[in-house]
Amino acid sequence: MAAFPLPPGSVIGILGGGQLGRMLALAAARLGFDVAILEPEPDSPAARVAAHSIVAAYDDPAALARLAELADVITYEFENVPAQAVAMLTELGAATAPNARALAVAQDRVEEKSFLNKAGVPTVAFAEAHDAASAAEAMALVGAPALMKTRRDGYDGKGQKWVEHAAGAAAALKDLGGAPAIVEAPADFLRELSVIAARGRDGEIAVYPPGENHHENGVLRRTAAPAKITKKAAEQIERIAHQILNSLDYVGVIGVELFEIKGGKLLVNEIAPRVHNTGHWTQDGCEVDQFEQHIRAVAGWPLGPTEPHAFVEMTNLLGEEAADWPRLAAEPESRLHLYGKREIKPGRKMGHVNRLHPLD
């Protein structure tokens, strides 16, 4: 087991080779670390900027043993890494961060909301459904209309269905493949906010200013940050971040999505135990961005400052939009981040652009 803080020259292991892994690897390199990527797909964006690449399934025993041998600490770029993989790494004596509990909570929407409520964090009303009878009971408890989502997996609007009437609960569950589900009361929110926060190995917490998010077809399109919110709301969001991080005994960066309701009330929608799309604005708007912050945290280093030095509008580049890079690169206020994905597909996240403006 490695001793923390890790010195430069140590190896950071990352489960996942997509764009988040790539940006984590680049941040780690700036701090003098080498990176080892474990990813099932060959020629992944993260592997091409890392010192070591292991191409194998996430739960491949030999691959995990190799990663544990190479890396001084292991983290992950997305929360759907098989829990079995983290358990196997732990058995091998590898240090992992964030911890297995954070992963388990985030992988199951019922567990997630139950955890949040126990931690004193408000959410919409919810109930679980696993068959026709429990789906009807959930609708009776939550009320109609309601949003039914699969308990596990599903992202960017996938794996969910609106249920307009209680009588349609069984059919909605069937449409979702019959998988265990959660039924959520609708949130009549004014806007979606999010906050990126980090907790170090010594319990130190650093919170970035919240951002305001805009979605299209269930996919994040833009984040504007720092969001224009009241001091009371900012204090409430910071308090929520502290409650979540401390309750999980968390190490690393976390993304927390919130709904702002009329009257200034805030409800947490979901948490992501990793660096987050809504935190990309920090790359060009803050002294230390979320990727470096995550590396600092998992390596046991002091956390960096989170103060903003610009107002940033982050826009995701989907599909062919990334081919417009010559124009985007020519915009003086823009900072272009492309993910190195070999193939452009409709709706695929190919990069993002941060447009900088003076702070008010």
On whether both 134 and 79 belong to a single domain, the answer is no
Residue-level pLDDT at 83: 82
* pLDDT for position 215: 95
Decide if 50 contacts 312 (C-beta within 8 A).
no
Distance CA 310, CA 108 (A): 36
pLDDT above 60 for 156: no
Last residue of a domain, one of 48, 79, 96: 96
CA distance 201 to 208: 18
- Last residue of some domain: 184, 199, 217? 184
Judgement on whether residues 303 and 325 belong to the same structural domain of the protein = yes
pLDDT at residue number 166:
86
236, 242 in Cβ contact below 8 A?
A: no
Which one-letter amino acid corresponds to residue 76? Y
Number of domains in the chain: 3
- What does the pLDDT average to over 220-241? 97
In the predicted structure, residue 288 carries a pLDDT above the cut 90: yes
pLDDT tens digits along 77-134: 999 888 889 889 999 999 999 999 999 999 999 999 999 999 999 999 999 999 999 9
Same domain (yes/no): 180, 261 = no
13-29 pLDDT, tens digit per residue, is 999 999 999 999 999 99
Which pLDDT does position 155 carry in this prediction?
Answer: 61
For residue 351, give every residue at least 6 positions away whose Cβ sits within 8 Å of its Cβ, in sequence order, or none. Answer: 19, 316, 317, 322, 325, 336, 337, 338, 339
CB atoms within 10 A of CB 32: 11
Q: Are residues 328 and 209 in the same domain?
A: yes
Residue 217, sorted as left (phi over 0), alpha (psi -120 to 50) or beta, turns out to be: left
In this prediction, what percent of the chain has a pLDDT beyond 70? 98
Asked if residue 256 is part of any domain, the answer here is: yes
Residue tagged 């358990």 (tokens)? 87
Alpha carbons 220 and 347: distance in angstroms, whole number: 11
For residue 175, pLDDT over 80 is answered with yes
Dihedral sign for Cα 131, 117, 101, 294, please.
positive
Asked whether residue 199 falls in the same domain as residue 166, the answer is no
267 in the same domain as 129: no
Domain edge (last residue) among 96, 112, 134: 96
Provide the pLDDT confidence category of residue 2 given band limits of 50, 70 and 90. confident
Q: What is the mean pLDDT of residues 209-217?
A: 96
Long-range CB contacts (within 8 A, 24+) of 220-224:
220/156, 220/277, 220/278, 220/316, 221/315, 221/316, 222/313, 222/314, 222/315, 222/316, 223/194, 223/277, 223/278, 223/280, 223/281, 223/312, 223/313, 223/314, 224/281, 224/311, 224/312, 224/313, 224/314
Query: What does the pLDDT read at residue 80?
Result: 87
Q: What is the pLDDT of residue 153?
A: 80
- What average pLDDT does the segment 30-48 reach? 98
Token readout for 336 is 């272009």
Q: Are residues 255 and 201 in the same domain?
A: yes
The domain of 175 spans: 125-184
State the pLDDT at residue 154. 67
Report which residue type is found at 31: L
Does residue 109 lie within any of the structural domains?
no
Residue 98 carries which side chain, given as an amino acid letter?
P
Mean per-residue pLDDT for 33-41? 98
Whether 240 and 196 have beta carbons less than 8 Å apart is answered as: no
pLDDT at 157 over 90: no
Would you state the structure tokens that stand for residue 271, as one six-digit string?
């948490």
Question: Residue 248 belongs to a domain with what CATH number?
Answer: 3.30.470.20
Mean pLDDT of 183-193: 94
Mean of the pLDDT values across residues 174-188? 93
Residue 41 — pLDDT band, cuts 50, 70, 90?
very high
